[in-house]
Amino acid sequence: MSVSKSFTATLVLRAIDQGRFTLDTKVVEILPDFAAGGKQNVTIRQLLNHTAGTFRGFLPPGILAANLGNLDQYYASVASIPVEYIPGTQCVYNPFASYAVLGKILVATDSKERNFRTIAKEELFDPLCMDHSCFGLAEDNANRVPVCHTAKQTNASTPMTQNMLTKGCTNGSEMPAASAFCTIHDLFRFVETMRQRGTNGEYRLMSKALFDYACKNHTGSLSNGALVPEKEARNMPDSPALYSLLGGYVRCEDHFLTGAGYTASPRAFYGIGGGSTMWMVDPDRDLSVCFLSAGFIAGLHHLERLCKINDLALAACE
């Protein structure tokens, strides 16, 4: 699921190292039609750190579950939708749209004129020996784990959600934010590359300089607007979003709920997805953690589970 964002983010950073665009490049400089509805000043960095104000739902107008994985159609719909807030002034987790735009940018600036799936395969999965990873996988593939929810998370909308993600992530799907499939061993290979600051020892995915910059907090003190209602309902204190540019988050200081674990070092960074997945690197302890599961646990409950898992992993390694 949204661990896919980490894969896409590293491809974007790699393209920046190649000089194809910068973090401050405006999307309209590459995709002029994106300017509609007040989006003319949205930058690459804002797409990466969830501050762009793009469509925050799952299915934009004109898009059905069956064509959710059609990158061209999805982008065209998102490009026509007005901005939801002034870019850079708020931070709201964006499930699909912003990373669809990033995927479109990678395709539009690729000198080899490859599609997104091929770029991911040739620039990321193959060089890192992630031999069982891809964007989009046939529904009848024996290795595919079906989309499901835990019993407590099942409600009236569950069948619709499961159908959307199943149909949208099938063979040939190009959802840069969500349609990647991989094994735990492949995810570990990716995370080890993150632990080694963008290289697996043989292939450098991105420069150390850009990697170190991307690992920082890129949303300042802004909170994640997508979690505010649930926090208020549960009488939980607000906390900063702490988005990095690696498709995930950083730990930073202070005591608050974090998927990295309370005891992770301030420099720890991580990615999470779909109420079922996680990876984390604690550079101060030279530690990598990976977690894949079946059965969605949505919202803060997933963060609480990941916090506990990482604290246990950190305790076991001391």
Mean pLDDT confidence for 262-290: 96
Mean pLDDT confidence for 298-312: 95
Q: Tell me what percent of the residues of the chain surpass a pLDDT of 90.
A: 84
Residue 158 confidence class, pLDDT cut points 50, 70, 90:
confident
Chain Cα centroid distance, residue 180: 10
What's the pLDDT at 51? 99
Tokens found for residue 129: 């020996």
Res 61 pLDDT > 90: yes
Mean pLDDT confidence for 68-87: 98
Res 165 pLDDT > 90: no
What's the pLDDT at 237? 94
Mean pLDDT confidence for 47-67: 95
> In angstroms, how far apart are the furthest CA atoms of the chain?
53
In sequence order, what E strands does 218-311 have?
A: 249-250, 269-273, 277-282, 287-292
Residue burial 126-142, b: 16+ Cβ < 10 Å; e: rest: eebebeebbbbbeeeee
**Residue spans in the chain of domains classed CATH 3.40.710.10:** 3-133, 181-316
Residue 63 confidence class, pLDDT cut points 50, 70, 90:
very high
Residue 208's SS3 state is helix
Tokens found for residue 284: 């101060």
Residue 152 confidence class, pLDDT cut points 50, 70, 90:
confident
What's the pLDDT at 167? 84
Residue 24's SS3 state is coil
- Which bin fits 294, alpha (ψ -120 to 50), beta or left (φ > 0)? beta
Q: What angle do CA 174, 179, 185 make, to 5 degrees?
A: 125
CA distance 27 to 245: 16
Residue 272's SS3 state is strand
What's the pLDDT at 140? 87
Tokens found for residue 248: 């995930």
What's the pLDDT at 234? 97
Q: Tell me what percent of the residues of the chain surpass a pLDDT of 70.
A: 100
> pLDDT tens for residues 192-220?
999 999 999 999 999 999 999 999 999 99
Closest CA to 130 of 286, 296, 278, 4: 4
Helices 97-108 and 4-17, packing angle to 10 deg = 40
What's the pLDDT at 195? 99
Regarding the domain delimited by 181-316, which CATH topology (the fold level of the hierarchy) does it fall under? Beta-lactamase (3.40.710)
Tokens found for residue 70: 């059609």
CA distance 98 to 104: 10
Mean pLDDT of the chain: 96
Res 148 pLDDT > 80: yes
> pLDDT tens for residues 18-28?
999 999 999 99
Q: What's the half-sphere exposure (Cβ side, CA atoms, 13 Å) at 308? A: 5
Burial classification of residue 177, based on how many CB atoms lie within 10 Å of its CB (0-12 exposed, 13-18 middle, 19 or more buried): buried
Res 35 pLDDT > 90: yes
Q: For 278, list phi and psi in degrees, rounded to 5.
A: -170, 150
> pLDDT tens for residues 229-263?
999 999 999 999 999 999 999 999 999 999 999 99
According to DSSP, the residues that pair with 243 across neighbouring strands are 249
Closest CA to 76 of 50, 97, 53: 97
Alpha helices, H only, 96-183 = 97-108, 116-120, 158-168
What's the pLDDT at 239? 96
What's the pLDDT at 178? 94
What's the pLDDT at 164? 84
Higher pLDDT, residue 163 or 176: 176
Regarding the domain delimited by 3-133, which CATH topology (the fold level of the hierarchy) does it fall under? Beta-lactamase (3.40.710)
> pLDDT tens for residues 105-115?
999 999 999 99
